[in-house]
Amino acid sequence: MKTQQRASPAVPTADIWEFLFERPSLPFPPDHVIFRAATTDDKWTYKGLRDRAEQFGRALQSSWRWSKDDVLMVIGPNDIDIPPVIWGCHYAGGIVAPVNPALSVQDLHRQIERSEARGLVVHPDCLPVALKAARIANIPKDRILALRSNRDQTTSDATSTVDQFIANAQVASDMISSRPKNRFAKGHCFLSLLVWDYGAS
């Protein structure tokens, strides 16, 4: 029986940021809502998401001197504010290591060390475990960001938020405003996501 060979899909010569946010045309207007939170009225439009991701990427470059292949660990459950963090890291040429929010201090410490993470972005619910694991792994407190503020934290132990990080970088005089050049070239591969298989599925 004859079988028909399917044509391989065309793979663009572009990194994730270029593929998503530097497209020659869009099938919808820039103010189109592409993400909605399940339990709140929060939402992201395409343009809002792109702008926020670029702001975060520039803040990484300016404040943390982020460079190609630096690893950012993201710890938290599904949340509408995680995509701008992930794609902001990609804007700056970095690698994102998303991890299970239910990990123990010991397991999270191991993953921080194995990934060689240079910084963490943590959902407020995961902060207690993340702060302990980061301390063991010698990640400085100023390399840990909360996804948003946590009302339960006191002023003395408050972790800077992503909002504060972006705002502080925007007033810095040495704000970097460009993406890494030659991030992607035909025939070359770059790691964008570093994900562990927990063996649960």
Enumerate the β-bridge partners of residue 33: 45
pTM, rounded to two decimals: 0.87
Write down the pLDDT at residue 155. 40
- pLDDT by residue for the chain (201 residues), tens digit each? 667 778 888 777 788 899 899 988 999 999 999 999 998 999 999 999 999 999 999 999 999 999 889 999 999 999 999 999 999 999 999 999 999 999 999 999 999 999 999 999 999 999 999 999 999 999 999 999 999 986 555 444 679 999 999 999 976 645 555 677 655 566 667 789 999 876 554
How far is C-alpha 150 from the geometric centre of its chain's CA atoms?
20
Give the Cβ contact number of residue 47 at 10 Å: 15
Backbone conformation region of residue 81, classed left if phi is above 0, alpha if psi is from -120 to 50, else beta: alpha
Helix axes 82-91, 46-64, angle to 10 degrees: 60
Q: Which domains does the chain have, with CATH numbers?
A: 32-174 (3.40.50.980)
